[in-house]
Amino acid sequence: MSGSKSIAQVIVDVPTKATDRPFDYLVPEALMSEVRLGCRVKVPFGPRKVLGYVVGLKDEAETPRLKAILDVLDFVPPLTPELVRLGFFMADEYMCHTMTALASMVPAVLKGTYEKVVRLHPEVDAQADSLLTLSAAPLLTHLREKKECLWDEALTLVANDAPLLRQLAEAKWIQVEERIGDRVTRQKVMWVRPKQSVNQLKQTLEQLSGRAKRQQEVLRYFIRHPEEIPLSSLLTELQVVRSTIQKLVELDALAWEEREEYRDPFKDRKFQPTKPLSLTEEQAEALQAIVQPIRDRRYCSVLLEGVTGSGKTEVYLQAIAEVLNTGREAIVLVPEISLTPQMVERFKGRFGDQVAVLHSGLSSGERFDEWRKIRRGEVKVAIGARSAIFAPFQQVGLIIIDEEHESSYKQEENPKYHAREVAAWRAQYHGATLVLGSATPALETYYHASLGMHEWVTLKERVHGRPFPAVKIVDMREELRKGNRTMFSDTLREELLACVERGEQAVLFLNRRGFSTFVMCRECGETLMCPHCDISLTYHQTNRTVRCHYCGYAERVPQTCPSCQSQHIRHFGTGTQRVEEELARRFPGVRVIRMDVDTTSRKGAHERLLKAFGEGKADVLLGTQMIAKGLDFPKVTLVGVIAADTMLHLPDFRAAERTFQLLTQVSGRAGRHEKPGKVIIQTYSAEHYSIDLAASHQTETFYKQECFMRKQHEYPPYCSLFTILISHPDRVTVMRTGQEMARQIQTGMPAECQLLGPVPAPIPRLKDRYRLQMLVKYQAERGHALMLKPLLREVVAMFDDPELRISVDRDAGELMEIRDGW
């Protein structure tokens, strides 16, 4: 190996097409031990300096004019070798830049910040002041006072004369430094400990001058408590100052050191330790199916189909215990909205401080701390929402995806990954077991299981043999014919009153997806629309504003119609706020807690409201999507669905599947304990199979029917999809581009593939951009993706108008744009 040089291959933080490949850099002798696979480095790139990830290391004899790595930013590489490989897989699979894929796997604080700082050059000649050009004077004066400033400030001080700054730097008047750092500094805490034995401390105490009262006090403290203590606690406890301690450190009596401290988000919470519960026969069988491949250390995916209330979580917990016994780690994914304190408590209760929790409620610093516990192997279980799938464990034995059908496992931004697919990749890499748990699996999971691609275990019974709630469908068209024009059917009204009278609780569910409160003029029929998007504005009572839920535009509700000046302008629709008003009017005295984006936007509000409901401070919990799952309140005996079909008519081929899943989940909230539950579903489409079959708990029949429908219309899982969405500020340009792009794809794609569109996207205009979409249906098992991916990449590259935005998504991501909660 004599004469050969060490080379690092680096993916640079310049996410563009042209730079989306590794660049080679020399590893300087001094950094040899620090430059490791997966760590972040600072490298020169063109005329500037950027951050990059080391994705490969090699030795080479010939190194034609390579630049060298400038610095290493991590002691422990944030990416394991496995995650580096996963990054390349994702870049290919989800058609994104490698840097984008790599960056998505680490906490946001490691994304790096760039700072260009200007300073006086240390060798600047004071006498040279006379040479100062007039235009540089303000900057140099400023630097004399402040020592340094940001590049942009410096530019302002020289009237935006960038060449002048360059000249000043060349003439060694100023120094320009590009700083690359983390977004937050790690929290550091000073610890103080005695450096001498108690006897030595006593000697030191006697040698102290009589005047050093404070120092004596501190020494006496350590003689009483010869243990380490955080500096801040010591200072407050003894009412001394830092310099007192410093003196004693200088005397070698004490020692202090800075230590990184974890911000523990659960610091003040006690978790009740729990023991494994005894399992039902079904549960035991399911557990066995999961545990066997864990013991064999082979890759295996298991669909755990368990009805609501069948005790899936206990199966998860015992499977995890088994993995920990084999010395390996477990990742648990749950949808963000069900990452409730109830859920966290169960895991913390069983596995204590072996658990790291990652969810969006944490500050970026707290998130980083939890992540570091995983990276350092200080915990064995990671539980979190979608991005927790990247938990940097090195011995993964089990990955569990709870409520695997949830759409929140699909990331809508680049990289547009599905956590289920990433999980399958990681499980295969590690020879781990993948568990997909749900009462209502995604249709494709169901289909794959039926083809034998997953092991398939079912939990058909609720624990303790509790019966399923009785579900009644109320046809709202009938109600209208009877003359009931309110949003509560007679049945729901009676049941609700009876429920409250019995002292029990009810949950009212309003599916606002695609159906929110809008403002319309009764005179001319004009609806208030967002000036930037083709979307009607949503009415918010709290501050009497209308808002666009897509771009955030907000304005006060106008007094008169902007189009005809009529005063008869008012809000329509069935937002949660209106249901709440109506409840107050029709059921005086009934206490309601409303949960929606308005009431839960503040940190911790979600938790607080649920706690209040659990403590019986309200009779009715009214809410959107966010109350559909995970909740388990013993006193809830009635569940009402105000309008079951609001999302049935969205332009989404999964509309029926979503409706079925949601209704099944909501119904599962009732009668989970001693008292039997009742569910009332109000709908205008009573005959639709998704509503009917959810009401009668006929899961199997629904899936068969839905598979039939998908096959008829050639939709997934019977084909695979690419969605291409293009947007442009100009309507004509986007249409012309769309046509041309479609022609290119059509010509290049395999003949068996099918191109649909371009057609206007479900939201034809968003944030002042016109949007078109195209759909390519293909057969993955015939290898079409292998041809389509390069083709789409090529076609996308051909249209490089900076105003044009193109997004390519496997599957139909765009149609799911309407997010839960809104």
Partner DNA sequence: TCCTCTGAAGCC
Partner DNA sequence: GCTTCAGAGGAC
Query: Using CB under 7 A, which of 45, 316, 347, 447 touches DNA?
Result: 45
Residue 170 or 501: which CB sits closer to DNA? 170
Beta bridge partners of residue 190, listed in sequence order: 258
Residue 24 or 153: which CB sits closer to DNA? 24
The closest alpha carbon to 425, from 813, 721, 90, belongs to 90
CA–CA separation, 412 vs 703, rounded Å? Answer: 26
CB of 221 to DNA, least distance (A): 54
Who contacts 443 (Cβ-Cβ below 8 Å, separation ≥6)?
654, 657, 703, 706, 707, 710, 716, 717
CA–CA separation, 657 vs 664, rounded Å? Answer: 11
The answer to the question of whether 561 is labelled as a binding residue is yes
**Site residue total, DNA (CB under 7 A):** 18
Residue 115 or 478: which CB sits closer to DNA? 115
CA–CA separation, 64 vs 221, rounded Å? Answer: 64
Window of 23-31, 285-293, 321-329, 600-608 that interacts with DNA by CB under 7 A: 23-31
Residue 67 or 179: which CB sits closer to DNA? 67
CB of 565 to DNA, least distance (A): 44
The CA-based diameter of the chain, rounded to the nearest angstrom, is 99
Is residue 337 within 8 Å of residue 627, measured between CB atoms? Answer: no
The answer to the question of whether 753 is labelled as a binding residue is no
425 touches DNA (CB under 7 A): no
Residues 302-361 that bind DNA (CB under 7 A): none
CA–CA separation, 552 vs 535, rounded Å? Answer: 12
The answer to the question of whether 530 is labelled as a binding residue is yes
Query: Using CB under 7 A, which of 5, 36, 44, 541 touches DNA?
Result: 44
CB of 124 to DNA, least distance (A): 22
CB of 305 to DNA, least distance (A): 44
Residue 116 or 547: which CB sits closer to DNA? 116
Window of 39-47, 232-240, 245-253, 813-821 that interacts with DNA by CB under 7 A: 39-47
CA–CA separation, 320 vs 641, rounded Å? Answer: 36
112 touches DNA (CB under 7 A): no
Is residue 290 within 8 Å of residue 233, measured between CB atoms? Answer: no
By CB atoms closer than 10 A (0-12, 13-18, 19+), residue 493 is middle
53 touches DNA (CB under 7 A): no
CB of 378 to DNA, least distance (A): 36
DSSP string, 408-473: GGB-SSSS--BHHHHHHHHHHHHT-EEEEEESS--HHHHHHHHTTSSEEEEE-S-GGGPPPPEEEE
Residue 66 or 707: which CB sits closer to DNA? 66
Query: Using CB under 7 A, which of 48, 213, 544, 611 touches DNA?
Result: 48
Is residue 8 within 8 Å of residue 67, measured between CB atoms? Answer: no
CA–CA separation, 381 vs 218, rounded Å? Answer: 42
Beta bridge partners of residue 720, listed in sequence order: 778
CA–CA separation, 58 vs 152, rounded Å? Answer: 39
14 touches DNA (CB under 7 A): yes
Residue 66 or 763: which CB sits closer to DNA? 66
The answer to the question of whether 39 is labelled as a binding residue is no
Task: Record the tokens describing residue 582, joined without a space.
Answer: 């109506």
Query: Using CB under 7 A, which of 1, 18, 451, 798 touches DNA?
Result: 18
Who contacts 236 (Cβ-Cβ below 8 Å, separation ≥6)?
none
Window of 10-18, 307-315, 393-401, 625-633 that interacts with DNA by CB under 7 A: 10-18
Residue 114 or 708: which CB sits closer to DNA? 114
Query: Using CB under 7 A, which of 58, 67, 295, 793 touches DNA?
Result: 67
23 touches DNA (CB under 7 A): yes
CB of 179 to DNA, least distance (A): 14
Residue 98 or 665: which CB sits closer to DNA? 98
DSSP-derived letter for residue 23 is: E
117 touches DNA (CB under 7 A): no
Residue 154 or 476: which CB sits closer to DNA? 154
Window of 20-28, 233-241, 625-633, 779-787 that interacts with DNA by CB under 7 A: 20-28
Residue 66 or 208: which CB sits closer to DNA? 66
Q: State which amino acid sits at residue 75.
A: F
Q: State which amino acid sits at residue 496.
A: L
Give the x-and-dash track for 164-203 against DNA (CB under 7 A). --x-------------------------------------
Task: Record the tokens describing residue 599, joined without a space.
Answer: 């009431």
Q: Nearest-5° angle of CA 471, CA 475, CA 480?
A: 145
Residue 60 or 490: which CB sits closer to DNA? 60
Window of 19-27, 405-413, 523-531, 622-630 that interacts with DNA by CB under 7 A: 19-27
The closest alpha carbon to 382, from 404, 402, 355, 346, belongs to 355
CB of 111 to DNA, least distance (A): 13
User: What is the b/e burial string over 526-546, where b = at least 16 CB atoms within 10 angstroms of the residue's CB?
Assistant: bebbbebbbbbbbbbbeeeeb
25 touches DNA (CB under 7 A): yes
The answer to the question of whether 521 is labelled as a binding residue is yes
Backbone angles phi, psi at 98, to 5 degrees: -60, -40
The answer to the question of whether 719 is labelled as a binding residue is no
Window of 22-30, 71-79, 188-196, 740-748 that interacts with DNA by CB under 7 A: 22-30
The residues of the shown chain that bind DNA, judged by CB under 7 A, are: 14-16, 18-19, 23-26, 43-48, 66-67, 166
Annotated binding site for Zn(2+): 521, 524, 530, 533, 548, 551, 561, 564
Annotated binding site: 521, 524, 530, 533, 548, 551, 561, 564
